[in-house]
Structure 1
Amino acid sequence: MITVKAPGKLYIAGEYAVLEPGHPAILVALDRFITVTVFEAENQGTINSQQYAETDFHWRRQGDQMVFDNRDNPFHYILEGIRVVEMLALEQDRPLRIYDLNINSELEDQGGRKFGLGSSAAVTVATVKALSEFYQLELSRLDIFKLAAIAHFNIQGNGSLGDIAASVFGGWLAFSTFDKDWLRTVLKNDSLTQVLASEWPGLKIEILHVPAELELLIGWTGSPASTSRLVDKITIAKFAKKDQYHEFLRQSRNCVQSIIAGIRSQNLAAVKSGIRENRAILRQLGAFSGVNIETPELKQLCQIAENYGGAAKFSGAGGGDCGIVITDRYVDQARLISEWGRQQIATLPLAVFDASEAIV
């Protein structure tokens, strides 16, 4: 039996611009996890998840192929994670085996509503990591990132894959994405072994060490959002309003770089100032693209936090889900949280999952 965990994530700054190579974002990994367990099986394997308890998913081998009934398949990210790991296993002359895969997620509430913590990325990372161990593939964390990024990108077709990096490396990260056209090309022409060994153009992952006095507060509006749909809408604006979009990219890059510099120099005031600036830049993106990025609920979440001295913005694609607040000992968190509660904004009891403790 093999058991691994992968943490969820939240974006701190740099959303949407991070879709373009060379434009950084800042993310954190959080102490809520998806757990994947692999058991050796005979003849027929299963995939089970507490989140899809009504789905009875069985599969078998036909040569090196997994065979299943796609009509009952809610496990697209998991199956693609399996596929890429087994491709690599075959390249390394590992015989393919049959197994049961059990998945448990802490990234939803008891009713199954997602918090926007990157569940599809975390389950992809956990699946890739678990099966890499199952097949005794000796992979670095960067290899795990690359394999999971390939699997996730093959399914979603857009996104920066920063959430994959957060689930793999943990802690606070600065992340810049890679050239997706390059990846599509090499996947058609090279083996996975070659792709993993390659330098990925544009990819940058840096572990950050934030000021000791910095505290992170997370609020949830209770309204889930679809990241891929929002990204698709912004992509339309990218081509329809090129000049405004390029100005957005320039402003975002400069802003996020200033936040990263503030973190490196342990300057909390610079970090808070940069968070506020990034919120304004993203609101401008929403305005000229006609996309409802900062919903009234997220606006209220941010305004309440600012009233108490926190630096706030929505996290991720917006349109619902979470907002983040950078606070310190001068912020009255108790009153802030109480005011959130009166406005039906839930405070998520989450902490940053430290990179030094990372278990993926």
Structure 2
Amino acid sequence: MTQRLPFRVAAPGKLYVAGEYAVVTPGQQAILIAVDRYVSATVTPAQPAQTATPTEQVLAHDHGVAAAANRSFGTDYALAAWLVMDALRAERGIDPIPVDLHFDSTLRSDTGEKYGLGSSGAATMAVITAFNELYDLGLTVTEKLKLGILASIEISPRASGGDLAAGALGGWVYYQAPDRDHLARVLSDNVSVTEAMTGPAWLPMRARRIPTPSEVQVLIGWTGSPAATDHLVSQATTNGNGLDWDADFLRPSAANVNSLLLALAEEKFPLIHAGIRTARKLLARMAHDTTTLVETPALTTLIDTAERFAGTSAKTSGAGGGDCGIVLAEPWVNADDIYAAWRDHGIQPLPLSVTQLGAGRKE
């Protein structure tokens, strides 16, 4: 039973609470939140494409067909997801339904700059969700996540998939990445999608919702500097400079994430604050030893300004190098006071909330 056209799907953005950089290593733990900013895709009957290649607004059926014929998708995450999903459709013996996908996003500023909320991952999950609805594929959340990873690693092999997990699940999310180096490349190596969704490389992957800590306020500030995530992650993970990656970063990060999970579950604020500050220190040491710019001066100002208020802890969120900082605050803290202090330093508060809605149909 395919879906009547048109219909609309949406996938949320994400922010890291703890575990970024470590999470690119298979099986390493991270905590993320899905935020109530979205990439939406409206699915309509196909029309002749107005452009030769997809735009940020439209991925036409014609674009997908041409990309499949040329085996080319460049750095377009939505197009890579289209190709993976169309291959899965064909493997299941389902006739194609020519449709166009019309995108809109609230993961950017009014002037079009990315907030660092995982727009590529959200676009990927929107395409996968659209195909799942269109062809009534009945995919589980884990299957949608796997398909998103198979699409994204074709473009960014180091991408952990954390943004995809948050987008697929919604809420507060615990995540461990698969062994992406040993996953099949379904677009470049022409392996069947069905086959690529199984195998030992997936064994380290974990993705699950964790209980939402109801008393925790999440405050987000944006420094206005988009981060080059792939470049930063590549630099951090290849620049040794004497860092014992396992002993100095991965193991302490894993222990800290596990402690933070317990602290959040029990809403023990002294332990929550300790976990956030430990995550910041670990990132700072890793950044120093790999000469990677994670915490820019603007992000340091964001964090230090927030932590002048009692009942708060703060850190960078995600790759750093600009983008967002995250604050976990106790329920009595006045967020407006922190926002005002940020604005005095040219930092933009982002009025975001944790969304419980993962990628899905939008009525």
Greater Cα offset, 242-251 or 100-109: 242-251
AA aligned to 1:234 is A
User: Does the 8 Å CA contact 2:125/2:168 hold for their aligned counterparts?
Assistant: yes
AA aligned to 2:62 is W
In 2, Cα distance between equivalents of 1:59 and 1:171: 35
Matching of residue 8 in structure 1 with residue 13 in structure 2: yes
* Counterpart for residue 127 of structure 2: 127
In 2, Cα distance between equivalents of 1:206 and 1:60: 34
What are the equivalent positions in structure 2 for 1:144-163 lying under 5 Å apart? 144-163=144-163
Aligned-residue offset at 1:292: 1.1
AA aligned to 2:76 is H
In structure 2, the CA distance between the partners of 1:190 and 1:48, relative to structure 1 (3 Å rule), is closer
AA aligned to 1:115 is Y
Q: CA offsets per residue over residues 123-147 of structure 1, 9 Å max, x none?
A: 0000111022222322111111111
* Counterpart for residue 37 of structure 1: 42
Structure 1: runs of 5 or more not aligned: none
User: Does the 8 Å CA contact 2:150/2:185 hold for their aligned counterparts?
Assistant: no
Aligned-residue offset at 1:56: 9.7
Tell me, what secondary structure is at the counterpart of 2:197?
A: helix
* Counterpart for residue 115 of structure 2: 115
Tell me, what secondary structure is at the counterpart of 2:239?
A: helix
Matching of residue 17 in structure 1 with residue 26 in structure 2: no
**TM-score, normalised by the number of residues in structure 2:** 0.89
Aligned-residue offset at 1:149: 1.2
In 2, Cα distance between equivalents of 1:229 and 1:79: 22
In 2, Cα distance between equivalents of 1:58 and 1:265: 49
In 2, Cα distance between equivalents of 1:111 and 1:29: 23
Greater Cα offset, 107-116 or 198-207: 198-207
Q: CA offsets per residue over residues 194-234 of structure 1, 9 Å max, x none?
A: 33355721011121113321110000001111100101111
AA aligned to 2:344 is R
Tell me, what secondary structure is at the counterpart of 2:343?
A: helix
User: Does the 8 Å CA contact 1:172/1:208 hold for their aligned counterparts?
Assistant: yes
Greater Cα offset, 217-226 or 126-135: 126-135
Matching of residue 214 in structure 1 with residue 216 in structure 2: yes
* Counterpart for residue 105 of structure 1: 105
Matching of residue 227 in structure 1 with residue 224 in structure 2: no
User: Does the 8 Å CA contact 2:218/2:326 hold for their aligned counterparts?
Assistant: yes
In 2, Cα distance between equivalents of 1:57 and 1:136: 20
Matching of residue 136 in structure 1 with residue 139 in structure 2: no
In structure 2, the CA distance between the partners of 1:266 and 1:254, relative to structure 1 (3 Å rule), is same
Aligned-residue offset at 1:98: 2.2
In 2, Cα distance between equivalents of 1:258 and 1:249: 14
Tell me, what secondary structure is at the counterpart of 2:133?
A: helix
AA aligned to 1:110 is D
In structure 2, the CA distance between the partners of 1:185 and 1:83, relative to structure 1 (3 Å rule), is closer
AA aligned to 1:301 is L
What are the equivalent positions in structure 2 for 1:317-336 lying under 5 Å apart? 317-336=319-338
State the aligned residue count. Answer: 353
In structure 2, the CA distance between the partners of 1:279 and 1:49, relative to structure 1 (3 Å rule), is farther
* Counterpart for residue 261 of structure 2: 260
* Counterpart for residue 3 of structure 2: none
AA aligned to 2:163 is D
In 1, Cα distance between equivalents of 2:186 and 2:247: 28
AA aligned to 1:140 is T
In 2, Cα distance between equivalents of 1:24 and 1:220: 25
In 2, Cα distance between equivalents of 1:257 and 1:241: 26
Structure 2: runs of 5 or more not aligned: 1-5
Q: CA offsets per residue over residues 99-119 of structure 1, 9 Å max, x none?
A: 221011110011100000000
In structure 2, the CA distance between the partners of 1:319 and 1:61, relative to structure 1 (3 Å rule), is closer
Aligned-residue offset at 1:342: 0.4
* Counterpart for residue 341 of structure 1: 343
AA aligned to 1:107 is L
Matching of residue 193 in structure 1 with residue 198 in structure 2: no
User: Does the 8 Å CA contact 1:132/1:139 hold for their aligned counterparts?
Assistant: yes
In 2, Cα distance between equivalents of 1:206 and 1:120: 21
Tell me, what secondary structure is at the counterpart of 1:142?
A: helix
AA aligned to 2:29 is P
Aligned-residue offset at 1:74: 8.2
User: Does the 8 Å CA contact 2:223/2:299 hold for their aligned counterparts?
Assistant: yes
Identity of aligned residues (%): 35
In 1, Cα distance between equivalents of 2:313 and 2:293: 21
Aligned-residue offset at 1:282: 0.4
User: Does the 8 Å CA contact 1:9/1:29 hold for their aligned counterparts?
Assistant: yes
In structure 2, the CA distance between the partners of 1:56 and 1:156, relative to structure 1 (3 Å rule), is closer
AA aligned to 1:252 is S
AA aligned to 2:347 is I
Matching of residue 308 in structure 1 with residue 309 in structure 2: yes
In 2, Cα distance between equivalents of 1:177 and 1:301: 29
* Counterpart for residue 296 of structure 1: 297
